[in-house]
Structure 1
Amino acid sequence: MSRDLMHSAEVKQLVQDAYRNIPATTAAVAHKLYSAEELAQVPQRAIDCALGVADHLRFAAIHLGETVLDLGCGGGIDTILAARRTGPAGRVVALDFLPEMLRRTARAVAEAGLDNVEMLEGEMEAIPLRDDQVDRIISNGVINLSPRKARVVAECARVLRPGGRLCVSDLTVGQDELPPEILTQPTAWAGCVAGALAEEEFVRKLERAGFRDIHVPYRQPMSVDDCALYPLFSPETIQLMRDLIPAEKQQAVAVSIVVRAEFAGSGPAPARP
């Protein structure tokens, strides 16, 4: 059975519970993923809320004046970095379905002194924007939180302008690579591992939604120790990983990837600046 057919309401609730109980700081994640130069552009309050799985903005090639949609803005690091790159003439729409996360991002944006960010409450399976509204979509460790990934990808295609681009980071796993005792742990879903797709399956979903020029410029294995940096994984889940996953596989229980793609749309793609 496709993982897109899992119980959406139950998954949504466990993700809400996990993200509402994040501890005071997850700065270790930020320092693992981002350069010192990037973090110097971001308030400490955003660094303390980092929960991403890669630095996809290195591959996003955001241009001045563009409209960028950040799916699952979280603590605000990527929103702020994107807003600086699109400049005052551009705009970043920071989407999250949790008001708590939107408030965190809004506070960080205000502290950064940015006025080109719009906070938007909503679900990525039903993005509250009109068709053809954005030039780029970014997200970091977010799409795997949805049990309806095909719907998320279709919504991305809907709100992108023809020739618009997507650059997202997330976790991938091979089929049947994790024991069921781990996959059924709620915190494994919140940590993006239980809901992770194989890379090939993710690419197929993008192709079916009308994306082209799909490219994976970054792959990085994620170990059990890496998972332990994320408070969304409970100590019980981490211990299960150590007990049930063979030692030789514990250095790569998942792979963090960055995926880039262009939305073909119904007409010719516009010229690139």
Structure 2
Amino acid sequence: MTRDLMHASEVKRIVREAYRRVPPTTTAVAQKFYSEEELELVPPAAVDRALGVANHLRFADLRPGETVLDVGCGGGIDTILAGRRTSPSGRVIALDFLREMLERTRAAAAEAGLGNIRPIEAEMEAIPLRDDTVDVVVSNGVINLSARKARVAAECARVLRPGGRLCVSDLTVGQDLPAEILTHPAAWAGCVAGALAEDEFVHQLERSGFVDVEVLTRQPLGVDDCALYPLFPDEVIELMRILIPPARQTHVAVSVIVRAAVPEV
């Protein structure tokens, strides 16, 4: 419990400042994870600010008529794709604690001609939705930004209807990184400092009430991959190249896609 609550306010400040400064230069991130056909369905402004770590929506099995919660919507790329897959009768709730991100998502939804997207400004540790109101929770590289991950998992389980589904992508780590990297603010903003081991991530979901937890994919994230994200400034990338042994530089972290559900009853 102590580890989960440590420095929560400081982590939020670091993440808030880093994401507010994200320039529209992350098209390479989107091209790494999404097909050309998928990117054609998304306005360029959302593609240009993609900051996810995988393409979890391919495994989410979103259906027309469902209510989807996108935890940490960012620039809106996943929100837009989810909005298209759940339309016309479904809806997507785009949650973010940064008003700037919500405005970008709102603008992208309008450009895409989608009327089934509802942005809400809130923290993922305190989701302002009633119990049992969501069919699917999705999230892309966001849960690791919280210093209270157990609380986030519990909130996701709470808002899901019986039998509801969770499909998220995030980073996990197998070995500790050098202290000079972990203590750098950019390491938190880039999800590396806050990353859990895979078994710990799965265990937290199970403790929060999720069942049938599956790790569907594992993709190594190396130093060169980190360099694609403007959240990692040049000095952090240089530190990685100097301090991380060459044999580990292609496996700084592992991007996983995890799927789970809440019980039917």
Normalising to structure 1: TM-score of the pair?
Answer: 0.95
Deviation readout 1:128-187 (Å, 9 max, x if unpaired)? 1111110000000000000000000000011000100000000000142x1111111100
Mapped partners of 1:24, 1:78: distance in 2: 16
What residue is the counterpart of 2:110 in the other structure?
A: 110
What residue is the counterpart of 2:45 in the other structure?
A: 45
Aligned pairs (5 A) from 1:193-204 = 193-204=192-203
What residue is the counterpart of 1:149 in the other structure?
A: 149
Mapped partners of 1:2, 1:258: distance in 2: 27
What residue is the counterpart of 2:140 in the other structure?
A: 140
Q: CA contact under 8 A between 1:223 and 1:250: conserved in structure 2?
A: yes
Give the AA of the match of 2:152. V
Deviation readout 1:45-101 (Å, 9 max, x if unpaired)? 100010000000010001110000000000111000001111110010000000000
Give the AA of the match of 1:121. E
Mapped partners of 2:258, 2:223: distance in 1: 23
What residue is the counterpart of 1:218 in the other structure?
A: 217
Cα offset, 1:24, TM superposition: 2.6
What residue is the counterpart of 2:28 in the other structure?
A: 28
Give the AA of the match of 1:183. L
Cα offset, 1:191, TM superposition: 0.2
Q: Alignment RMSD, CA only?
A: 1.0
SS in 2 for 1:32: helix
What residue is the counterpart of 2:168 in the other structure?
A: 168
What residue is the counterpart of 1:271 in the other structure?
A: none
User: Is 2:128 the partner of 1:125?
Assistant: no
Q: CA contact under 8 A between 1:94 and 1:117: conserved in structure 2?
A: yes
Deviation readout 1:215-239 (Å, 9 max, x if unpaired)? 1111100000000000001111111
What residue is the counterpart of 2:76 in the other structure?
A: 76
SS in 1 for 2:119: strand
Cα offset, 1:29, TM superposition: 0.4
SS in 1 for 2:171: strand
Q: CA contact under 8 A between 2:69 and 2:94: conserved in structure 1?
A: yes
SS in 2 for 1:119: strand
Mapped partners of 1:218, 1:12: distance in 2: 28
Cα offset, 1:2, TM superposition: 5.5
Alignment size in residue pairs = 265
Cα offset, 1:6, TM superposition: 1.8
- Structure 2, unpaired ranges of 5+: none
User: Is 2:182 the partner of 1:187?
Assistant: no
Give the AA of the match of 2:87. G
Cα offset, 1:3, TM superposition: 3.7
User: Is 2:244 the partner of 1:245?
Assistant: yes
- Structure 1, unpaired ranges of 5+: 268-273
User: Is 2:226 the partner of 1:205?
Assistant: no
Mapped partners of 2:91, 2:243: distance in 1: 46
SS in 2 for 1:127: coil
Mapped partners of 1:169, 1:221: distance in 2: 13
Mapped partners of 2:5, 2:138: distance in 1: 24
Deviation readout 1:17-44 (Å, 9 max, x if unpaired)? 0001011321110011100010010010
Mapped partners of 1:81, 1:105: distance in 2: 12
SS in 1 for 2:118: strand
In percent, how many aligned pairs have the same letter? Answer: 71
Normalising to structure 2: TM-score of the pair?
Answer: 0.98
